[in-house]
């Protein structure tokens, strides 16, 4: 009876060790899977970040272009306004000098 109990205990201990080894392998496998998943997520994040940065850069360039165009249009408007006013200013001066 004692022999059988010791034998069962030894078998249980051996089974625990075997299972522990399986657990270690599973943990190692899980670590590799987790690492691969993390690397894939990091790569996807970097790709999304680069795409966001490219879109932001394009948006800023477009905004700057529109600002330059608006400033140029304003400058031209002022020049045209000044050109229209200039003859009337000349006429006024001429009238005053007469």
pLDDT on residue 71: 96
Domain boundaries, the chain: 1-73
Low-confidence ranges of the chain (pLDDT < 70): 1-26, 87-98
Tokens of 20: 């522990």
Residue linked to tokens 């003859």: 87
The candidate with the shortest Cα–Cα distance to 25, out of 40, 33, 46, is: 33
Question: pTM (2 decimals)?
Answer: 0.50
Q: Determine the pLDDT at residue 98.
A: 60
Structural tokens at position 81: 């306004």
């Amino acid at each position: 009876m004692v022999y059988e109990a010791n034998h069962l205990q030894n078998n249980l201990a051996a089974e625990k060790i075997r299972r522990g080894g399986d657990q270690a392998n599973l943990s190692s496998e899980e670590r590799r899977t987790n690492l691969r998943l993390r690397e894939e997520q990091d790569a996807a994040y970097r790709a999304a970040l680069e795409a966001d940065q490219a879109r932001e850069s394009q948006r800023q360039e477009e905004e700057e272009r529109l600002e330059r165009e608006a400033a140029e249009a304003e400058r031209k408007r002022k020049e045209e306004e000044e050109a229209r006013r200039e003859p009337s200013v000349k006429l006024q001066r001429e009238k005053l000098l007469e």
